[in-house]
Amino acid sequence: MAFGSLQNFLNVNFAPPKYLSLPTAGIDVSASGIKLAFLEDHTHGLELAKFGEERLPAGAFTSADITDISAVIKGLMNITKTHGVTTANIALPESRTYLFETEVTGRSVSEWSIALEQKIDEFVPLPPSEVAFDFVPDRVKGDTAHVVGVGYAKRFIAQSLQAFDEAGIRVRSVESELFSIARALLPAGDPSTVLVIDIGKTTTKLLVVAGRLPRYATTLDIGGHALTLAVQKHFGVTEEEAKRVKADRGLVASEGNQEYLAAMLSTVSAIREEIMRRLDYWQTRAVAAGMHEPVSRAIIVGGNATLKGLPEYLSAGLKVPVDLGDVFTNMAPRDHWLPPVDYMQSLAYATAIGLALRQYVP
Tell me: the pLDDT tens digits for 86-131? Answer: 999 999 988 888 999 999 999 999 999 999 999 999 999 999 999 9
pLDDT of residue 21: 54
User: Are residues 47 and 131 located together in one domain of the fold?
Assistant: yes
Secondary element (H or E) of residue 362: none
User: Are residues 4 and 46 located together in one domain of the fold?
Assistant: yes
Q: Do 30 and 93 contact (CB within 8 A), yes or no?
A: yes
Q: How many domains does the chain have?
A: 2
CATH classification of the domain holding 199? 3.30.420.40
What is the identity of the amino acid at 106? G
CATH classification of the domain holding 132? 3.30.420.380
Q: Which residues of the chain have pLDDT under 70?
A: 1-22, 63-64
User: Are residues 67 and 209 located together in one domain of the fold?
Assistant: no
pLDDT of residue 7: 44
User: Are residues 316 and 214 located together in one domain of the fold?
Assistant: yes
In this structure, how many other beta carbons lie within 10 angstroms of the beta carbon of residue 130? 12
In this structure, how many other beta carbons lie within 10 angstroms of the beta carbon of residue 126? 15
pLDDT of residue 8: 39
pLDDT of residue 198: 96
User: Are residues 33 and 170 located together in one domain of the fold?
Assistant: yes
Q: Do 79 and 166 contact (CB within 8 A), yes or no?
A: no
pLDDT of residue 4: 41
Rounded to 5°, the CA angle 212-213-214 comes to 125
pTM to 2 decimal places? 0.90
User: Are residues 147 and 60 located together in one domain of the fold?
Assistant: yes
Q: Containing domain of residue 200, as a range?
A: 189-325
* Among the listed residues 213, 218, 216, 200, the one whose alpha carbon sits nearest the alpha carbon of residue 300: 200
